[in-house]
Structure 1
Amino acid sequence: MIDDQLLRYSRHILLPQIGIEGQEKLLAARALIIGAGGLGSPAALYLAPAGIGTLVLADGDTVDLTNLQRQILHRTEAIGMAKAASGQRTLNAINPECRVIALQERLEGDRLFAEVALADVVLDCSDNFATRHAVNRACVAANKPLVSGAAIRFDGQVAVFDPRLPDAPCYHCLFPEGDNVNLERCAVTGVFAPITGIVGAMQAAEALKLVAGCGKSLAGRLLLLDGLAMEWRSIKVPRDPDCTVCKQRP
Structure 2
Amino acid sequence: MEHAQRARLTRSVEEACLNGWPALREAVFDGWLLRFADGYTRRANSVHLLSSGTCDPHEKIRSCETAYSAQGLPTIFCVSSMMQSTIGPALDGRGYGPPEDETRVLYRSFADGLPSIGEVELTERLPGAEWLRTIARLQGQRADAQEIHRRILESLAVPAVFAAIPVAPGRLGAVAFGAVHDRIVCVNSVATDPDFRRQGHAQRVISAILAWAQDRCGAKGACVPVVAGNAPAVALYEGLGFGTEAYRYHYRRHAL
TM-score (structure 2 length as normaliser): 0.28
- The structure number with the bigger radius of gyration is 2
Structure number having the greater strand percentage = 2
TM-score by length of 1: 0.28
Q: Which has the higher contact order (CA 8 A, sep 6+)?
A: 2
